[in-house]
Chain A
Amino acid sequence: MIYKMTRRAALAGVASIAMIAAGATSALAEGWKPQKPIEMVIMAGQGGGADRLARLFQSMIQKEGLASMPMLPVNKGGGSGAEALRYLKDNEGDAHKIMATLNSYFTTPLRTDIGVDIEEFTPIARMAVDTFVLWVNADSDIQTMEDWVAAVQASGGSWKMGGTGTGQEDSLLTAMLEKEFGIEVTYVPFDGGGDVAKNLVGGHIDSTVNNPSEQMGFFKAGKSRPIAAFTTERIDAFPDVPTARELGHDIVYSMQRSFVGPKDMPAEAVAYYTEMFSKLNELPEWQAYTEDEALDRDFLTGDALQAYFLEEREKHAAILADMDADGAS
C-alpha cells in the first residue's frame, strides 16, 4: 500500500519531466500519453490462437506507430487465465497495463473462486468475434447435421469430440450440442486448436468444433469438412455451410477477442487506448486478416462493451450450470 502511494506521488512529480521528453515523439491524443512501455497481458500461453492474435495487434500497432511507447506482450495463461485475472486485479489503477481477453474472461471466475469480479475491470475495446463450426474428417460419410447426430447415436457414447480442455469454449459448445440433440460424446481435451485440428485429420478423433482459422489450412487442402456453423448468419468463407439455426437448432456461440484495463484505470488512459484500437480497427491489414480467417470484425467500446460482457457472463453461467447439472464430466 505504501509502495503504491509513493509510486503514485512520485509519478505525478516526474510526469512533467517525462512529458517534455515524450513530446518529441509523435502524438496521438492530446493530453495523456504512456510514459513507459505498455504491458499487454495475454490470458493464454505462448503460441495459442489468442496469443497469436494479440501479437498480431502488437506488431500492427508498432508498425503503424499507433502508440508512443512499445507494447510488450506478457503471457499469463496459467489456470485458464486465472493468473492473468489475478494480476490485473492486483494492479488496480495502473494506466500501463491492458489485457487481451477471450471467453475464459467469463468462465474462469465462474468455475473457480479466484476472488475476481470482471465487472470491476475497465472495458476498452472489442476487436473481433470468432466463430465456431462443426468439423469432420473429409474421409467420413457425414455430410449433414442429421448424419452427424445419427453417427453419434450409433456409436453409443464412444464418439470422440476433440477440444481444448474442459471449461474451454469448445467444451461448452460440445455440451450444448449434447443437450440439444440428447446425445452423449466422449470429450478428449488437447493442448490447442491446432493440435485438435491435426488429430481430426489424422483420424484420432471423430469430430470437433474448431474455429475456422484453425481448420482453414486443412479445409483448403480438402482434408476436413465443415458441417454446420454456430453463427446467426452463414459465414462468408463457407457460403454452403448452413447455420445450426437454419437447421432448426438454436445454438449460437462465439468467442470474443477484447481488451480490458484494470479497475480504476485513469479516464484519459482509457480514451488513449480506445482511440488507438479504433485506428487499428480501420487498418486495411486488419480487415484483410479478418476476412482470410473468417473472423467477425465487430468493434465495440465503453459502456456498450461492458453491457456485452455482463450479458455474456450471464449466458456462460447458465451453460456452466447446465453442464454441472448433467454431471457428466
Chain B
Amino acid sequence: MDTLALLADGFATSLSPLNLMIVILGVTAGLFIGAMPGLGSVNGVAIVLPLTFIVPPSSAIILLCAIYYGAMYGGAISSILLGIPGASTAVATTFDGRPMAQQGKAGLALIAAAVASFIGGTISVVLFTLFAVPLADLALAFGPAEEFALVLMAFTTFVGLGGDDKLKTIIMICLGLVLSTVGLDLISGQPRLIFGDLPGFYSGISFLVLAIGVYGIGEILYTIESSRTAPQVTPAKITLNDLWSGIKTMNRMWRTMSLGSFLGFFVGMLPAAGATPAALMAYGMARSTSKDPKSFGKGNIEGVAAPETANNAASTGSLLPMLTLGIPGSPTTALLLGGMVMWGLMPGPMLFIEQPDFVWGLISSLYTANFAAVAINIALIPLFVWALRMPFTVLCALVMVLCIVGGFAPSQKMHDVWLIAGFGVAGYLLRKADYPLAPLVLALVLGPLMEKSFRQTLISEQGNVLAFVERPLSGTFIAIAALFFVLPLVKYLRKGGRRSIAPAE
C-alpha cells in the first residue's frame, strides 16, 4: 500500500536518535507550559519557532508537534489539580476533574486524562493518515451557516434543559455572551462596549482572563471561607498499584472514548470550530447517553475521559485544514503554518503531492509525540499529585501568584490582571449565591463564533433567517441541536408519566 510505504519512510526519519530526543524534550516542555494556567500550546510553539532554524525542518516540525501535544496533555493537569482550565479546550475537563481531585482521586483523574488523550490522539492520527486528502473537501463545504449550526449544537448538547436554577443559568449565559461582544464588532469594524474608554477593552475579554478569575481567584476565596466548616481537600496519594488499576479502569470506557475521538476529529477538522466545541460536545454526549447522568459534575471519571479524548483528537484534526487548505483553525496551527512558510513549504492542496517527505514525516512524528506524551505524563503524575499535598495556605499563595503572572503573560497587559481580580471577586459572590459559573465561561468561549457566523449568514443570504434550516448540512445540525435541547425534557416527562405524579422541584 502506498500510504503505508510513505508512512514507513516517515518513521525512518522520526525515529532517529536526534529526533527521539527532540520529541522527549518537546513533550516535557509542552507538558509544563500547558500545565501553567494562562499558558498553552500557542506560547510553547511561539517560543520555539525561531529556534527551529537551528535544526533541519523535519526535526523542527517534530519539535513543534511534540510541544503541541505536550501542551494539550498538560492543559488537563491544571484543570484537574487547580480547577483552572489552562486553555479553553480544557474547560470541560474541570467539570468532573476538579471534584475528583477534591475527593482525593486526583491521581486517577490524571491517569484518565492521560490515557484518554492518548486514545483520542491515536485514533485521530489513524483517521488523519487514512483520509486526510478526501476529508479536506468536507471542510470546504462548511460555510458560516454550518458554523453557526455547529456551535449551536455544541451549546445545546452541553446546556440542555434541567439542572441548575433556570433563571440564574439564563442570566449567566447572557452575561457570558454579552461579555464576549466587548471589543471590536467584526461586521461593522466599530469598537463597542469599551467600558470607561480603557484601551484594554479594545481587544475584548479573553477567555483566559475570565477562567483564571472565576475558577482561580474565585475558587480560592470560596475555599478560604469554607475551610473552617468544610473538610479540607482530601490529600491525594498515589502508588504504582493505583496507576495500574487506573489504567485498567479506563478499559471500561471504550464507548465514551471512541465516541469522543471521532467527534473530536471531525469537529476539530472544521476550521472555525476547533477543539473547544469538540470537548464540550463530547462531554454533553457522554452525559446524555450515560446510564447515570446525575453523577456527572460530581466526579464521574467518564466526564474527564470524554472531553480529553475529544480535545486531543481535535487538535490533530485541526492540523488537517492547515496542511491541506492552508487555513489555520487555531492560533497555534497558525503559528505552525507560519513555521512551514518560513521553511519554504507552501501548505495547501499541493503540499501532499509536492512535499510527501515532509507530510509523512509530520504524520509519523504525531504518532511518536503521542506515545512520548502519554509515557512522560504518566511518569510525572506522582510529582503532580505530590504538589497537592503542600499546606493549604502555601498552595493558595502560589496559585494566586500563578494567576497574576499567568493572566499577565498572554497579552502582557496589567489591564487583564485587574480584570482577573475583579472576576475573581465577582465569581466568588456569584458562586455563593448559587449562580452556575460553567455556562458563563462557555458562553464567553462560544459567543464570538456564534454571533459572527449568525450575522455573516444573514448578510450573505440577504437577511433570510430560513437559510439556517434550508441548507442541508446546517439544517441537520440544527435538528440535532433541537433534539438535544428537548431530550432531557422528554426523559423528565417519561419518568414523570411512569410515576404518575411529576416530582416538584
- Seen from chain A, the residues whose Cβ lies within 8 Å of a Cβ on chain B are 45-48, 51-52, 55-56, 58-59, 62-63, 73-80, 82-83, 86-87, 111-112, 114, 158, 160, 165-168, 171, 186-191, 194-195, 197-199, 201-205, 216-218, 220-221, 223, 288-289, 292, 329
B460 near A47: Cβ-Cβ < 8 Å: no
Tell me which of B42, B139, B203, B344 contacts A83 (CB under 8 A).
Answer: B203
Nearest Cβ on chain B to A222's Cβ, whole angstroms: 8
Chain B residues with CB below 8 A from A158, complex form: 462
Nearest Cβ on chain A to B180's Cβ, whole angstroms: 14
Tell me which of A188, A189, A195, A223 contacts B271 (CB under 8 A).
Answer: A195
B143 near A79: Cβ-Cβ < 8 Å: no
Chain B residues with CB below 8 A from A165, complex form: 186-187, 189
Chain B residues with CB below 8 A from A62, complex form: 50, 53
B350 near A188: Cβ-Cβ < 8 Å: no
B335 near A59: Cβ-Cβ < 8 Å: no
A55 near B49: Cβ-Cβ < 8 Å: yes
Chain A residues with CB below 8 A from B460, complex form: 160, 186, 188, 204-205
Tell me which of A48, A168, A197, A202 contacts B189 (CB under 8 A).
Answer: A168
A63-B50, A186-B459 known; 6 new pairs, CB 8 Å cut-off, are A52-B334, A75-B411, A158-B462, A204-B144, A217-B349, A217-B350
B326 near A217: Cβ-Cβ < 8 Å: yes
Nearest Cβ on chain A to B472's Cβ, whole angstroms: 14
Per the bound structure, the CA–CA distance linking A160 and B456 in Å amounts to 11
B327 near A197: Cβ-Cβ < 8 Å: yes
A59 near B53: Cβ-Cβ < 8 Å: yes
Chain A residues with CB below 8 A from B202, complex form: 78-79, 82-83, 86
Q: Which of B441-481 contact A (CB under 8 A)?
A: 452, 456, 459-460, 462
B199 near A83: Cβ-Cβ < 8 Å: yes
Contacts known (A47-B335, A87-B199, A220-B346); A79 close to B191, Cβ less than 8 A: yes
B384 contacts partner chain A, Cβ-Cβ < 8 Å:
no
B347 contacts partner chain A, Cβ-Cβ < 8 Å:
yes
A194 near B349: Cβ-Cβ < 8 Å: no
- Seen from chain B, the residues whose Cβ lies within 8 Å of a Cβ on chain A are 42, 46, 49-50, 53, 139-144, 183-184, 186-191, 194, 199-204, 271-272, 321, 325-328, 330-331, 333-335, 337-338, 341-342, 344, 346-351, 411-412, 452, 456, 459-460, 462
A51 near B334: Cβ-Cβ < 8 Å: yes
Q: Closest residue to B191 on the A side, CB-wise?
A: A79
Chain A residues with CB below 8 A from B50, complex form: 55, 58-59, 62-63
Q: Closest residue to B462 on the A side, CB-wise?
A: A158
A189 near B186: Cβ-Cβ < 8 Å: yes
Nearest first, the 9 closest Cβ-Cβ pairs linking A and B are A217-B348, A47-B334, A78-B203, A79-B202, A78-B202, A221-B349, A167-B189, A204-B143, A202-B140
Nearest Cβ on chain B to A262's Cβ, whole angstroms: 15
Chain B residues with CB below 8 A from A198, complex form: 139-140, 271, 321, 325, 327
Chain B residues with CB below 8 A from A195, complex form: 271-272, 327
Tell me which of B49, B189, B456 contacts A166 (CB under 8 A).
Answer: B189
Per the bound structure, the CA–CA distance linking A45 and B183 in Å amounts to 13
Q: Closest residue to A70 on the B side, CB-wise?
A: B50
Chain A residues with CB below 8 A from B142, complex form: 202
B141 near A202: Cβ-Cβ < 8 Å: yes
Chain B residues with CB below 8 A from A329, complex form: 188
Nearest Cβ on chain A to B473's Cβ, whole angstroms: 11
Q: Closest residue to B346 on the A side, CB-wise?
A: A217
Per the bound structure, the CA–CA distance linking A223 and B324 in Å amounts to 13
Per the bound structure, the CA–CA distance linking A276 and B112 in Å amounts to 51
Per the bound structure, the CA–CA distance linking A188 and B200 in Å amounts to 27
Nearest Cβ on chain B to A305's Cβ, whole angstroms: 26
B203 near A77: Cβ-Cβ < 8 Å: yes
Per the bound structure, the CA–CA distance linking A75 and B412 in Å amounts to 9
Q: Closest residue to B53 on the A side, CB-wise?
A: A63
Chain B residues with CB below 8 A from A160, complex form: 460
Nearest Cβ on chain A to B446's Cβ, whole angstroms: 15
Q: Closest residue to A76 on the B side, CB-wise?
A: B203
Chain A residues with CB below 8 A from B462, complex form: 158, 186
Per the bound structure, the CA–CA distance linking A167 and B53 in Å amounts to 37
- Max chain B CB contacts within 10 Å: which of A55, A187, A216? A55
B350 near A220: Cβ-Cβ < 8 Å: yes
Per the bound structure, the CA–CA distance linking A190 and B142 in Å amounts to 13
Per the bound structure, the CA–CA distance linking A329 and B185 in Å amounts to 13
Per the bound structure, the CA–CA distance linking A202 and B188 in Å amounts to 24
A55 near B327: Cβ-Cβ < 8 Å: no
Chain B residues with CB below 8 A from A111, complex form: 189
B143 near A221: Cβ-Cβ < 8 Å: no
Per the bound structure, the CA–CA distance linking A78 and B203 in Å amounts to 3
Q: Closest residue to B331 on the A side, CB-wise?
A: A46
Per the bound structure, the CA–CA distance linking A203 and B139 in Å amounts to 12
A86 near B143: Cβ-Cβ < 8 Å: no
Per the bound structure, the CA–CA distance linking A41 and B351 in Å amounts to 32
Nearest Cβ on chain A to B205's Cβ, whole angstroms: 11
Per the bound structure, the CA–CA distance linking A189 and B452 in Å amounts to 9
B344 near A292: Cβ-Cβ < 8 Å: yes
